[in-house]
Structure 1
Amino acid sequence: MTATVHHLGNRPEPSLDPMIRLVAADLNQVNAVILERMQSEVALIPELAGHLIAGGGKRMRPMLTLASSRLLDYQGTRQFKLAAAVEFIHTATLLHDDVVDGSGLRRGKRTANIIWGNPASVLVGDFLFSRSFELMVEDGSLKVLKILSHASNIIAEGEVNQLSAQRQVETGEDRYLDIISAKTAALFAAACKISAVVAERDEETEWALESYGRNLGIAFQLVDDAIDYAETSETMGKDQGDDFRDGKVTLPVILAYARGSETDRAFWRAAMSGERQSDEDLAHARRLLTSTEALHDTIERARHYGQKAIDALGPFPASRAKAAMAEAVEFAVARAY
């Protein structure tokens, strides 16, 4: 069968719906595993974990594991527990991130650390990490365990790297890309790659799916960092201007700082150090990001990585799964518009 060529921007209104429909039945199986494995005799654990897991997220990462399994026509059931493990890793990192960032809102709901406090959030995050490793061990594949445990390690390194770069306005684009490749793209990549392992495909297939996931993850985070400066938080599911007020030096800021006048740079130094955080300061930041085309170019970079993700699907024959995975990339980038 001749492979279909996809190009970013072919669809006027890309949607995640094709992927959601593709994996709907499988995701029910995954959700059953998640519900079962987040239980504990310690009542606070399922209460706090359930608050975040049921908080309206799209389950993007486990859906990638399921969609990749469909792409490879895998007929087994191992992907269900592994997709749940992926979601537990992601949820654990969110709990820890909200504590580090002091976040008060996620997906329109109060964060767990605001409701139950930082110690409980950190410890339940640890519980979910340990549950994820139990699920990996139950799968029995040392290769799968290696992929997911390595991804967990890379994510932690990325978070520490981001913390050490916080408020450092001189942070370069290369370091920024290292950070988002680790803290976001690593789990996207692993979520896809493990499907090739359970389907017993060759290394070329593993790396094609790893490339798809990694580049999608980078594009996804670039868009997230751009829409943090959007006029409304509805598309973000978090507080408006969180990154700005947390002093996170993301690509829009890096580009605007590099392109700005000395007066503009002085503003960015003050803003990232926490001295300029009012609504008026955020509005001024938006104006600088627009006038320097920093937001525009951030989205263009997202489109570049999105196209690389779509290109990675090239070796696979045309199928419903391939089309859904390609459109998921377009959806990830289109969130910025």
Structure 2
Amino acid sequence: MKITEQIKQPIAAEMELFEKKFYEAMSSKVALLNRITFYIVKRKGKQMRPMFVFLTAKMISGGTINERSYRGASVIELIHTATLVHDDVVDDSNRRRGFFSLNALWKNKIAVLVGDFLLSKGLLLSIDHGDFDLLRIISVAVREMSEGELLQIEKARRLDITEDVYYEIIRQKTATLIAACCSLGAASVNPDSEDVEKMRRFGELIGMAFQIKDDLFDYTEDSIGKPTGIDIKEQKMTLPLIYTLNNCTKQEKKWLINSVKNHNKDKKRVKEVIAFVQNKGGLTYAEKRMGEYQQEALEILSTYPASPYKDALALMVNYVIERKI
């Protein structure tokens, strides 16, 4: 059995019901919109976000979830899908998860409007049921994701960001959404409890580890998810590169920055950069940091009683670190 199926097993029934509820949450009187939302539902990914919501909720409640858990999962999926649709427009991207993006099929104007529609559907789903605590969690996540993206754009031009700024960028860009899923799951079954903050931190730690793992793919030959060196070509600052820049001579730093800025299309030069980062211990350092986040996440889990949901969340933490894509 694949690890993702193992993780899903204790919440298989909830995930099936969630898909129906999620599709209903997107319905509209406009036929064009329904065609597009059907397309969105058909090309779903691994569905990690709702899985986090349900596993957290069931671990904390001792195995039962309620309508709020389903609404929370639907809202986060609606709003996250809206941000992805807008991202594809901003990045002028024609593909997502191997399928055509909305803007590739229906052009930018329709894609932006669909993103707005999904966002408003998510907000209304919470407001109509008085789930203001859940809405707050999600709204904070969206604000942080936008700030993280803008912070990265602001800093990336200079290529001299510190490790602290890097952590702040990935915390906002990547970790904040997983953190929202876990705190949502907790808040849906046990509002205003310390579990809400505890699980937010748990999700944040997984998100940090997830992003560092993504960074590492850039320097390994066995990467399936994306071609080696792609972040270098896009001048994205990754942890192995930041560590190397801060731990080499002035001359080496100059060569490294020049390579990333001006020679990122040169395959031979990109290979040299990858080898240099490896030799300087950039990968070892990033792996060490990733392991620290993983351990801290597992420590939070260890404070909860044994259950299949807790085991599935522990599997999820380890899957983030060991995944091949």
Structure-2 separation of matches of 1:94 and 1:21: 27
2:266 to 266, 278, 283: 278
- Name the amino acid aligned to 2:317: V
Q: How does 1:35-184 map to 2 (within 5 A)?
A: 35-42=23-30, 45-48=33-36, 51=39, 53-72=41-60, 73=62, 74-184=64-174
User: In the TM superposition, what is the alpha-carbon distance from 1:331 to its structure 2 partner?
Assistant: 0.6
Deviation for aligned residue 1:251: 1.3
Check 1:295–1:269 CA distance in 2 against 1; reply closer, same or farther (3 A cut).
same
Where is the helix percentage greater, Structure 1 or Structure 2?
2
By how many angstroms is 1:109 displaced? 3.7
**2:292 maps to which residue?**
304
* Equivalent in the alignment of 1:332: 320
- Deviation, structure 1 residue 275: 4.2
Judged with a 3 Å threshold, the aligned counterparts in structure 2 of structure 1 residues 294 and 108 are, in CA distance, closer, same or farther, namely farther
- Spell out, residue by residue over 1:174-195, the C-alpha distance to the aligned partner (whole angstroms, 9 max, x if none): 1111111111111111111122
Equivalences for 1:246-261 in 2 at 5 Å?
Answer: 246-261=234-249
Structure-2 change in CA distance of 1:42 and 1:189 (3 Å): same
Inter-partner Cα distance in structure 2 for 1:323 and 1:151: 26
For 1:44-83, what per-residue CA distance to the aligned partner results, in whole angstroms no more than 9, with x for missing partners? 5455555555435211111100101110233422211210
Secondary structure of 1:249 counterpart:
coil
- Contact 1:14–1:328 (8 Å) recurs in 2: no
Task: Report the 3-state secondary structure (helix = DSSP H, G, I; strand = E; otherwise coil) of the residue aligned with 1:259.
Answer: coil
**SS of 2:3 mapped into structure 1:** coil
2: CA distance, partners of 1:55 / 1:239: 23
CA distance in 2 between counterparts of 1:135 and 1:321 reads: 27
What one-letter code is carried by the residue in structure 2 that aligns with 1:138? Answer: D
Fraction of identical pairs, as percent: 32
TM-score by length of 1: 0.85
Is it true that 1:226 corresponds to 2:216 in the alignment? Answer: yes
- CA RMSD across the alignment: 2.7
Answer 1 or 2: higher relative contact order, Cα 8 Å, separation at least 6.
1
Change (3 A) 1:190 1:268: same
In the alignment, the residues of structure 2 paired with residue 115 and residue 270 of structure 1 have an alpha-carbon distance, to the nearest angstrom, of 38
- Selected match of 2:177 from 187, 190, 195: 187
Matched-pair contact (CA < 8 Å) for 1:78–1:198: yes
Structure 2 CA distance, aligned partners of 1:199 and 1:268? Answer: 50
Equivalent residue in structure 2 for 1:211, among 201, 223, 226: 201
1:133 Cα deviation (Å)? 1.2
Q: Deviations over 1:115-137 (max 9, x none)?
A: 44444433332222222212222
Match of residue 5 from structure 1: none
Aligned counterparts of 1:94 and 1:229: Cα–Cα separation in 2? 26
Distance 1:44 1:247, change over 3 A: farther
